Chain A
Amino acid sequence: AQTIHQWPVAEIKAVGSPLSLGCTIKGKSSPNLYWYWQATGGTLQQLFYSITVGQVESVVQLNLSASRPKDDQFILSTEKLLLSHSGFYLCAWSRGGGNTGQLYFGEGSKLTVL
């Protein structure tokens, strides 16, 4: 069975500080990977997706970057946090190659920027 794990579960950070959020998928080779952002009580905004190692596509610019250093790992980061970065960050995966479109979300990382 496939599992998806995100870390950290929650972070409280200061404006201007760096951030790194991570996501690991086990039990699935070559998945499509996604980062989503959700403001409190808000919709899900797709930030990035990746279909293979080393290849990341940006969907919306929020002064964030993403990398896929390994097949099963997706990293979201920034060097300088803004207040507007607060929210819930969700990593998701879907089946690659012949993708049916179904997204599976991780448990999320809650970020509070003060």
Chain B
Amino acid sequence: QQQVRQSPQSLTVWEGETAILNCSYEDSTFDYFPWYWQFPRESPALLIAIRPVSNKKEDGRFTIFFNKREKKLSLHITDSQPGDSATYFCAASPNTGYQNFYFGKGTSLTVIP
């Protein structure tokens, strides 16, 4: 059973537009939600993360919106840049020591100049 689901599978936006990447999860014990981005032939790197005590986390052009009741979150990338083109993974970890991380299947984002 897929614990973390992402949509869309791929997304194309024009430079300057806002890209919205969606994520949902099953397990209510999840309490840490990092987003990782991965460029071709590179390993994933942490982009931004949120815990359920907040419903919003901002870091520059990247914002996570979190809805605990619906078990959904989304990553908004404002003023998208061609350099933002990458695969974005939503992940989740339960509040039992963070030994297990569950990743979604990823959203491939392409930003057209």
Instruction: Enumerate chain A interface residues (CB-CB to B < 8 A).
Output: 32, 34, 42-46, 49, 51, 57, 59, 90, 94, 99-108
**Besides the known contacts A43-B104, A59-B100, A101-B98, 15 further A-B residue pairs in the complex with CB atoms under 8 A apart:** A32-B98, A32-B99, A34-B101, A44-B89, A44-B91, A44-B101, A46-B103, A90-B44, A99-B99, A101-B32, A102-B34, A103-B34, A104-B46, A106-B43, A107-B43
Q: Cβ of B43 and Cβ of A94 under 8 Å apart?
A: no
In the complex, A113→B13 CA distance in Å? 36
Looking across the interface, which residue of chain B has its beta carbon closest to that of A91?
A: B43
Q: B49 at the A/B interface (Cβ < 8 Å)?
A: yes
Is the Cβ of A44 less than 8 Å from the Cβ of B100?
Answer: no
For B62-84 the 0/1 string (1 means CB < 8 A from A) is: 00000000000000000000000
Q: Which residues of B contact A (CB under 8 A)?
A: 32, 34, 36, 42-46, 49, 89, 91, 93, 97-106
Whole-angstrom distance between the alpha carbons of A114 and B103 in the complex? 28
Determine the distance from Cα of A51 to Cα of B103 in the docked complex, in whole angstroms. Answer: 20
Q: How far is the CA of A32 from the CA of B97 in the complex (A)?
A: 10
Number of cross-chain contacts by CB at 8 Å: 55
When chains A and B are docked, how far (Å) is the Cα of A101 from the Cα of B102? 12
Q: Do A43 and B99 touch across chains, with their CB atoms under 8 A apart? A: no
For B106, list chain A residues within 8 Å (CB). 42-43
Tell me whether A49 and B99 are in contact in the complex, defined as CB-CB below 8 angstroms, given that A43-B104, A43-B106, A101-B49 are known contacts. yes
